[in-house]
Chain A
Amino acid sequence: MEKLPLGLALDLRKVVPYKTGSWRTLMPVNMMQTPPCTQSCPAGNDIRGFLRVLAEKQDYEEAWHVLTRTNPLPATCGRVCPHPCEAGCNRRDFDTPLAINCSERAVGDYGLEYNLKHKKLISKRKEKVAVVGSGPAGLSCAFHLTKRGFQVKIFEANSEPGGWMRYGIPSYRLPNYILKQEIEKILELGIEIECNVKVGVNIPMDHLTQHYNAVFLGIGAQMGASIKIPGEDAQNVFSGVEFLKLINSGQIVEIGKDVVVIGGGNTAMDCARVAKRLGANVSVFYRRTRVEMPAITAEIDEALEERIMFRYHTNPLKIITDEDRVVGLLCEQMELKESDASGRARPVPIGDSESTYPADTVIMATGQAVDYDGIEIRKQNDQWISTNENLMTSIDGVFAGGDAVLGLETVAVAIGQGLRAASAIEDYIEGNLESQLSPPPVIYSKDLNTYYYTHEKQFSKKAVSIHTRLKNFREIYPSFDRQEIIKEAERCFSCGLCFYCGNCYMYCPDNAVKISPSTGKYDFDLDFCKGCGLCAIECPCHYIQMTLER
């Protein structure tokens, strides 16, 4: 022990601080949590990640790499995705959710403009995987497998890759050149692709199961399912799938003056809006009401803006033809009763309500099915491919995902399935039976301390005028101002991950939050932390939580 200084006057530079950390009963820990945007995203994108990169570093290139870790088609999704992430965004309870979809498109477009390249993760492995179908599910699976080092070959039945994105989604929603560039980037990783090869017809399934370590089926649901009414075989009666494929292949289709589209899904909306752009008067007939239509809300809204007429409660009975050409459609009115098996209200015909509507073309976008030609595989409900929880089908080593498994879903869902399948295939090949670590828990807005966030207006995209839209098949939303997108990204709350606001650092009465000299991150000095919990309460994004001292 030191001798007492004169008058107990102490040289402060010689003091050894007293370690108050021993007082604690609770301890602060940094707990990264899953933000609800990621949880809602079917592809599991690190949305918080790419938005924070934009906000903190204004670096589009890094943002693109963060986003394409999970989603190799950002420019595509930024155009066609119905963005369930925005519905989950915690900021929704504060003012308005983040315009994530627009941000995704801005980042994707940047990648195209600056010709950014995907990064490969590890070096080549000897195993080979066959991917059937180059839609979003197949491309995503191929992408993720290649990044893990597997050798992948894609077999595509159509003449160009892209699946439903190429042949189903019209170009005013997704311009072909955008899709083409994104697919090229994916293929540049070293993926082999052979088009005009239909597995099951041109090549038997056995060939694949024998020559490849695993197979992924991303064959989609590109067969139109008809409603079987008389007159279906006439000319100018198309299934929705057929019609869109023709248009997207660049074929000219004579549709006449009046077009009736039957159906309420996205395909129906696409068909209607394409027909409108070809110059026809378009009506959409649906036997239930708008509320029950499965199409994306934005699609229905834009169709209405484009002055497409909607007839609800209308069920077609017969196509009226004249010399094998469509001239009209006989329909009855329906009323809605209690819900049927699909969970929607059951339409019941009203007697004596038949009427005829003129039509030059009838497009039946009433359902789609998987084209199983040549493929023997177990199905569920006799419709979709049956898979276990690891996305493996009834055939060992054959996996499946996307529309072929889940029914008509979105591009994002298919991309997510492709990633899951790639993981599952890797586990299968390595004989890895262990399940993945569960992701961290989700953080909801009730746990945020929103006092430190300021209210800012949401970015809003502006469409070109209806008049301009209908003149051609160009995109209706021109490209977004990159600075405005960065401003929008700054609205991101960074739920569940530190964004260096410095509150914990400034508020700790014991100076027990330090900046690590190596990582620049905030760290707790447990020698002095008394466990008061101020840091946890004042952390806006709930990254700091108090746990019992061990």
Chain B
Amino acid sequence: MFRRLPTILAAQFLCAVALAAPVKTPHVEAELIAERTAFEPGRTATVALRLKIADHWHTYWKNPGDSGLPTRIKWTLPESVGAGEIQWPHPGKLPLGPLMNYGYSGEVLHLVEIATPATLRPGDTLPLKARAEWLVCKDVCIPESAELELVLTAGADNGQPDPRWADAFRQAREALPAPLANWSAEAGLNGRDLTIRLQPPAGTRAPASSLTFFPERENLVEAAAPQLLTRDGEGYRLAVKLMEPVPQDLGAITGVLVADRDWPGLASRKAVQVSAKVGGALPPAKANADAELGGSLLLALVFALVGGAILNLMPCVFPVLGIKVMGFIEHAHGERRLRRMQGLLFAAGVLVSFWVLAGVMLALRAGGAQLGWGFQRQSPAFVACLAALFFVLALNLLGVFEMGLRVQSLAGNVSVRNMRFDAFSSGVLACLVATPCTAPFMGAAVGFTLAQPAWASVLVFTALAIGMALPVVLLSYFPHALALLPRPGKWMETFKQAMAFPLLATVIWLAWVLGAQAGNDAVLALFAGLLLIGIAAWIYGRWAHSGSLWRQAAPALLAVAGLAVAWPTHLVAPGAIAAPRAGELPWQPWSREKVAELRAKGAPVFVDFTAAWCITCQVNKRLALNDAAVVKRFAELGVTPLKADWTNMDPKITEALAEFGRNAVPVYVLYSADKNAAPKLLPEVLTSSIVLDELNRLPKASVAVANPVTR
């Protein structure tokens, strides 16, 4: 405190007088400058308060955000001379821990129009005096001020642009928010969620992929809350979080929208002024017909279709697909019509399952619950049941027992009704087991639906389902593709038995997932339960056909007992991260605060959104993230690795994922040392070279941080 007091006092009373020279305060160089060499009496002349702010310090916009103070100019002017309001260039975001400020760094010009008297003659001078006051902050805040002067000279016309400041004025004018002519703006308020809807005039396309809204009114918008941009037809929707309580008198919302590129028809202008009338919740967004535009529904549908097809290749679907393909071979000697019908029924099973999922998801979303793809996996009971199901299926494939239906199928004597049910239910089963697999495209597609109206979500889910069912349907329609498969024969039994092992491998994986969720005891209980279920299956297979009621009931009782034993009863607390082992990244637990804190320090951060039940995550960790070169590069660049473990449902992580438009893991996010740079999302399937490339692409500044910042 006392070591800094003299600085503050010095700053407080530092009010030097400028004639032409700029005034230097401890953190700012200030001066009044004129745009042109002369002014025409009776017209306005543009002058500017120019602040050159010391590196890493900042001054404030007219709404300073969560803290701070706008810069002020108090004019002392000759009679009959008037000064207009400050024309504020658009601000930037200045995050500060959990707070957010709006302001300027580097050099900023505050433009002011001066109305000059018509009575002056060419050659006359017009002295302007102003006291400028600003708050300049870094970690600490210093109020500074300067007494400034500028003498304008009247001319026959308004002279030439002053060459010293021509560039500065041009840039300042480009940074002024432009009026957004012919666009329509409206806003919908739903609780604390305000959605600003912008529609361009016909024939105009809104190309920006990022928008930031800076509200004019203070204490209205939650400044630090992320703003969500979605497409609405050719325009935008920007969702903004309001502070509580929302003002009763909020008739309209005005502010500045800053895009990441020029607005259509406004060269070099990234900022526009918007004023939107606030009404009730907005109607659903319009789909965008132009597939070139990011975020259009069509694009999401294409991704969903491809993602669904890729699901067939995922390890957790493949065994089921194998069973299905086997079914085709069994029936290949049957009628073509039956085969096709089977394919379509399989597709129907997939569709219905996805619709049920979509319905559940929408219902939960409507209920305010946070939901993500693969959420079933977060319930230990579901994991245990799935393990039991896969175990039973494996035993079945190994021939420990055979279901009546299967025996008949193999004999080629299946009734039409049973076959239909079989096809339909294998579609359902395929979906059930597909849930934990996030194919590379699917995360984005499903994430997209979170911000979409219900009908769009259903469409995306439908596309996913069609994509998933497509290969099987195609096989059923094009038997010549089937001909590529081996003829039915004895090998089928061998193949069937072999298919048991991927299922057993899945059981191992599920047991491991359960261990991560509910601890060692739960795994022991699961295996004990599986043992009972195994005995039940064996009894059923060996004696069930002997007719005795008891022999039918015993396996059922044993199976129920097995499930009861396997049922997990408690969860272990998540978040505990094992001490880093040699040769692995020194993970720290993720939290929003931690990210903000590290970023505030200018430290690059890598976040791994992961879960024990996510196979892709584990593969990436083993093969890419724990690669020796990657670990070394992390240390060299001082990148702090944070792990967001989603194994058990953590709503904070769900929320963070939603902010990236995702609701499934893995998601990898790399923040550079530049606080204002958008984070970079890495692909869902990583290789060490992808990670190294991204690390090497970090701005040079971050290399200066020698060690990971830990606290």
Q: Are A and B associated in one complex?
A: no
